[in-house]
Amino acid sequence: MSDRVCSRAGCRAEAVRQVVWRNPRIHTADRRKIWAACAEHVDYLRDYLAARDFPVEVVEFGAESRV
């Protein structure tokens, strides 16, 4: 297994995407957080953040984010 492990609690699967987000109430526009996501949990993690109205984007590993 690679060192890219999904950020979903309890999941040990290999991450295939990055979920890039920020909380605009506490983070400046240049501050971004990154969660790793396996294929099974990428939608769950993105939707969790989007439900809180956080700017969120899913990108390939190594790709530049616009969030």
**Measuring CA to CA, which residue among 8, 10, 5, 18 is closest to residue 48?**
8
Q: Look at residue 3 in the predicted model and tell me its pLDDT.
A: 78
Instruction: Give the model confidence (pLDDT) of 22-36 as tens digits.
Output: 999 998 989 999 999
Outline where the chain has alpha helix (H): 42-50
Q: Look at residue 66 in the predicted model and tell me its pLDDT.
A: 66
Domain extents for the chain?
1-67
Query: From the CA atom positions of the chain, what is the Rg in Å?
Result: 12
Task: Look up residue 43 and give its two tokens.
Answer: 């939608």
Q: With contact defined as beta carbons under 8 Å apart, do 41 and 8 qualify?
A: yes
**Measuring CA to CA, which residue among 28, 21, 27, 32 is closest to residue 54?**
21
Instruction: Give the model confidence (pLDDT) of 9-60 as tens digits.
Output: 999 999 999 999 999 999 898 999 999 999 999 999 999 999 999 999 999 8
